[in-house]
């Protein structure tokens, strides 16, 4: 029902807002006012990204940041109708285009994802807590965990140090536990070792701690189950103190 | 609660805590963009729950893109429907513009060509949205800085869509003022030419004049006297409807926003409480 000629006019204006290239044959416009649309549209996108990625924004040279945003908004077609979710598409775009190699910043993907995660965990939809009890046995009962969390692996310690401190020497395997506190809604971060990441992942999957430790003892070649148990219990009790571990699942 | 004759305010995260914890600002209702809240949990969901306990909520969308050449986003419309049910929202409005084109969201409001085929296209889409939501949609006259490929005047375009679709009209008085300045027409004549019997809601806001010839609709300043005058003029032509103050940027002390609300309350008290509707 919409004529192609009308569609074309709409497309030309929208395209101009995305890439800033003044369109030809846009009919009946007040030429001197057209730039306001490009400015207003692009500023919304830019503000949204600078709010979502404050560390990356302040770390990158302004020229580099601006160029990255200009390319993103002109090349990528934003899919979400909710502008606050759009920064995830920016991250995906940077990964897909391998921007970190182009800029010779091998930690860039990690940094962007770390910044996105903070926003994501803070705003993600509520997840129902499991029914749990405070009474139980850490080794033999299924441990109940705050479901509003993410466990992620990074290749650079972007959650520990400023981007200026990332070097080849800092590359490695890093694990970050991010969770949302139930009452305050605040986001908390916890750097964990690969061993604790493994233990956490297993108990989060409902495996009994006693079984996890047997596996971990072999997998990590610890060969001292008593010592492992002591450390694991300290770790779990620390999580309990933070109200991240809730207690024990009710049958 | 019947919101007619009452003044509400746009619910913004910047001042949500102060609004909810104090009685400085006393709107009769709050309006929010569902896009900014759908699927959001944690702290903000709790704030929204508190807001819903304290105030009736109306919804004013940003991304429906009713004037887009693209297909409607049915999944998104159904999310809006669910959200409005959850928060007992009885009024839903959107902009007569497009914010998505050729499968790319732009997150701002672009002017639609004032053309007959666009009228038919949009009227059909409005009907479809209303059918899905099972409630009327009110469309807002938007501010614009240039027409694009227009073949009719703005008032005719708006009226045709309202008449053809059967939807309601959200009359943004500030937008009329901004457009009358930018496009050099008489604001009162423009309002007289709208289907005033279909006006179901009013928006008021501030703007910024950035040159001798251009005003930008920023929602970042206080409402100016000529817009209040236009508002008072408009109230004489309409049946009572809810009125909303929009303030999105440069948020002042809440006392200042309350002063603006009080001024609007006084205007509607003068007109709508004295005599019945004439529209």
ipTM: 0.95
Taking 60 as the threshold, does the pLDDT of residue B274 lie above it?
A: no
Taking 90 as the threshold, does the pLDDT of residue B164 lie above it?
A: yes
**Which residue numbers in chain A have pLDDT < 50?**
none
Q: Per the CB < 8 Å rule, is B108 touching A9?
A: no
Which domains does chain A show, CATH number per domain?
A: 4-105 (no CATH), 132-249 (3.90.930.50)
Residue-wise burial string across A200-227, b where 16 or more C-beta atoms lie within 10 A, e elsewhere: bebbeeeebbeebbeebbeeeeeeeeee
Measured CA to CA, the distance from residue B231 to residue B234 in angstroms comes to 5
Rounded average pLDDT over B5-19: 97
pLDDT at B276: 45
pLDDT tens string B85-116: 999 999 999 999 999 999 999 999 999 999 99
Residue B10 has a CB neighbour count (10 Å cut-off) of 21
| Partners of residue B204 on adjacent β-strands | B245
pLDDT tens string B30-86: 999 999 999 999 999 999 999 999 999 999 999 999 999 999 999 999 999 999 999
User: What band does B258 get if pLDDT is binned at 50, 70 and 90?
Assistant: very high
Q: What is the mean pLDDT of chain B?
A: 96
pLDDT at A240: 97
Listing from the earlier edge strand, what are the strands of the sheet with A187-192? A149-154, A174-180, A187-192
Of 3.90.180.10, 3.30.465.10, 3.20.20.150, 3.65.10.10, the CATH number of B7-272 is: 3.20.20.150
**Which of B251, B266, B246 shows the shortest CA–CA distance to B8?**
B246
pLDDT at A1: 86
Percent of chain B clearing pLDDT 90 (strictly above): 97
* Range 117-136 of B in CB contact (< 8 A) with A: 117-118, 120-121, 124
Q: Per the CB < 8 Å rule, is B103 touching A9?
A: no
Q: Where are the domains of chain B?
A: 7-272
Question: Which residues of chain B lie closer than 8 angstroms to A129, CB-CB?
Answer: none
Question: Which residues of chain A lie closer than 8 angstroms to B112, CB-CB?
Answer: 10
pLDDT at B273: 81
Q: Are B115 and B151 in contact (CB under 8 A)?
A: yes
pLDDT at B187: 98
pLDDT at B278: 45
- In degrees and rounded to multiples of 5, residue A250 shows phi and psi of -75, 140
Can you give the pTM of this predicted structure?
0.95
Query: B272 CA to chain A: closest CA distance, Å?
Result: 37
Measured CA to CA, the distance from residue A148 to residue B113 in angstroms comes to 46
- In degrees and rounded to multiples of 5, residue A145 shows phi and psi of -125, 145
């Amino acid at each position: 029902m919409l004529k192609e000629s009308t569609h074309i006019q709409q497309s030309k204006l929208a395209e101009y807002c995305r890439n800033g290239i003044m369109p030809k044959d846009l009919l009946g416009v007040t030429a001197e006012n057209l730039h306001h649309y490009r400015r207003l549209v692009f500023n919304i996108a830019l503000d949204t990204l600078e709010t979502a990625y404050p560390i990356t924004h302040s770390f990158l040279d302004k020229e580099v940041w601006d160029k990255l945003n200009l390319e993103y908004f002109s090349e990528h077609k934003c899919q979400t109708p909710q502008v606050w979710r759009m920064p995830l598409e920016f991250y995906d775009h940077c990964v897909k285009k391998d921007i970190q190699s182009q800029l010779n910043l091998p930690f860039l993907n990690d940094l962007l994802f770390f910044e996105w995660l903070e926003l994501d965990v803070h705003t993600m939809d509520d997840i129902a807590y499991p029914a749990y009890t405070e009474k139980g046995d850490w080794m033999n009962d299924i441990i109940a965990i705050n479901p509003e969390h993410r466990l992620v692996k990074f290749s650079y310690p972007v959650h520990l140090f400023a981007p200026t401190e990332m070097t080849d020497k800092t590359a490695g395997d890093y694990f970050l536990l991010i969770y949302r506190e139930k009452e305050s809604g605040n986001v908390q971060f916890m750097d964990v070792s690969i061993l604790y990441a493994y233990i956490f992942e297993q108990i989060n999957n409902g495996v009994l701690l006693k079984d996890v430790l047997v596996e971990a003892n072999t997998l990590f070649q610890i060969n001292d189950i008593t010592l492992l148990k002591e450390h694991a219990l300290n770790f779990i009790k620390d999580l309990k103190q933070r109200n991240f571990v809730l207690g024990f699942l009710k049958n | 609660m019947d919101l007619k004759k009452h003044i509400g305010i746009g619910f913004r995260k910047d001042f949500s805590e102060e609004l909810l914890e104090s009685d400085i600002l006393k709107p009769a209702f709050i309006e929010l963009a569902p896009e900014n809240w759908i699927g959001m949990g944690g702290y903000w969901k709790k704030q929204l729950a508190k807001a819903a306990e304290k105030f009736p909520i109306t919804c004013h969308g940003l991304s429906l893109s009713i004037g887009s050449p693209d297909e409607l986003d049915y999944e998104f419309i159904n999310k809006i429907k669910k959200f409005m049910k959850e928060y007992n929202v009885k009024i839903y409005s959107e902009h007569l513009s497009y914010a998505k084109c050729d499968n790319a969201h732009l997150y701002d409001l672009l002017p639609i060509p004032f053309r007959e085929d666009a009228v038919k296209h949009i009227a059909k889409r409005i009907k479809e949205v209303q059918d899905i939501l099972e409630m009327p949609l009110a469309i807002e006259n938007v501010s614009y800085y240039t027409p694009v490929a227009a073949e009719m005047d703005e008032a005719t375009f708006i009226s045709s869509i309202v008449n053809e679709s059967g939807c309601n009209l959200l009359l943004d008085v500030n937008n009329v003022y901004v457009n009358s300045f930018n496009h050099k027409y008489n604001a009162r004549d423009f309002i007289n030419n709208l289907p005033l019997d279909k006006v179901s809601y009013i928006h008021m806001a501030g703007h910024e004049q950035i040159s001798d010839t251009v005003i930008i609709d920023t929602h970042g300043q206080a409402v100016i006297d000529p817009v209040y005058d236009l508002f008072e003029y408009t109230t004489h032509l309409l049946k009572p409807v809810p009125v909303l103050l929009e303030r999105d940027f440069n948020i002042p002390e809440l006392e200042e926003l309350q002063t603006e609300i009080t001024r609007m309350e006084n205007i509607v008290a003068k007109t709508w409480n004295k005599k019945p509707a004439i529209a």
